Amino acid sequence: MRLRSLLFVPGDRPERMVKAAQLEADALILDLEDAVAPENKPRARAAVAAFLHEPRRVAVFVRINPLESGLAEDDLAAVQSAAPDGIVLPKAEGAASLARLDGMLSDGTRILPIASETAAAIFTLGTYGGVTQRLCGLTWGAEDLPAAIGAATAREADGSYTAPYQVARALVLFGAHAAGVPAIETVYPDFRDLDGLAAYAARGRRDGFTGMMAIHPSQVPVINAAFTPSADEIAHARRIVEAFAENPGAGTLQLDGRMIDAPHLKAAQALLTLAAE
Ligand code: COA
Ligand code: MG
């Protein structure tokens, strides 16, 4: 499953689900958690289930409420027979949360945890590997953690993350790769600032994220472009692979006056795999 862009749609907005499915997002995340007021949860569950029962051409995830909320069981009961492609698990706390949700699912439904939303979660970020084949990525959030620890904000005046949230982001990035699954960047809330989004997504890709969540239709093409290798990148990667193919047994070579060795070859091969998807 290719996951460059994952677009959130509130679970109580069925007309937006229909619109969202016509966009180029790789996946939708129908939200039953923070985007839906408590009194609307039953209506949202019904709307999400109805949408899932229609034929679909896009992967559909459902963000359930946290396992500890007392709402998750009803969320799953409402949507499971409609076979969502995946469940997004908010406030996840490592292997224990993953194993618990795994035990509540029956079919081939995948799991995408939001792995940085509580203080305790930060200390579990290395534990996601080897628990279940359902794990299809790891993502993070910069909104709930500051609220959980009484921080005023996660951001500097220029929009960049303060030090604690740079740490959280980096640990999720390494946690995902340690578990062998894609790292998915968090949302860019200022949905009218598409230049800022492009720069943010480019930094994510540079750092090792391979996809990103979106909140608004206008963000989807920007995110898809940012996480799709460009023609120049593909050409450069091919040259690296060819250089090693032409020099069997060589550990280190030069390309355009720069040293290339095993990590460059590995990165080039990974980029070509991404481009082929
Ligand atoms: N999915 C599908 N369609 C969406 C959409 C979404 N997430 N967000 C906006 N749209 C549609 C609107 O319905 C509108 O369609 P129309 O032109 O046919 O009327 C169009 O895009 C423009 O919307 P706009 O007026 O720019 O936005 P808004 O002020 O109505 O909504 C948000 C802004 C943030 C409330 C909305 O984008 C949204 O609900 N995003 C998802 C929020 C969410 O799920 N958050 C939880 C995780 S962080
Ligand atoms: Mg939240």
Atom of ligand 1 nearest to the CA of 10: 44
From atom 32 of ligand 1, which residue's Cα is the shortest distance away?
A: 216
From atom 46 of ligand 1, which residue's Cα is the shortest distance away?
A: 35
What is the pLDDT at residue 277? 82
How far is the C-alpha of 23 from the C-alpha of 173, rounded, in Å?
27
Ligand positioned closest to the Cα atom of 117: 2
How far is the C-alpha of 64 from the C-alpha of 88, rounded, in Å?
6
For the segment 216-264, what is each residue's pLDDT rounded down to a tens digit? Answer: 999 999 999 999 999 999 999 999 999 999 999 999 999 999 999 999 9
What is the pLDDT at residue 103? 97
Q: What percentage of the chain's residues is helix, strand, coil (to nearest 5)? A: 45, 15, 40
Q: Would strands 253-255 and 258-260 be described as parallel, antiparallel, or unpaired?
A: antiparallel
User: What is the 143 CA–ligand 2 centroid distance (Å)?
Assistant: 6
User: What is the 138 CA–ligand 2 centroid distance (Å)?
Assistant: 15
How far is the C-alpha of 85 from the C-alpha of 80, rounded, in Å?
10
Q: Are 135 and 111 in contact (CB under 8 A)?
A: yes
Q: What is the mean pLDDT of each run of 10 residues along the chain (277 residues)?
A: 96 98 98 98 98 96 98 97 96 98 94 98 98 98 96 94 98 98 97 98 97 98 96 96 96 96 96 89
Q: Are 86 and 29 in contact (CB under 8 A)?
A: no
Ligand positioned closest to the Cα atom of 69: 2
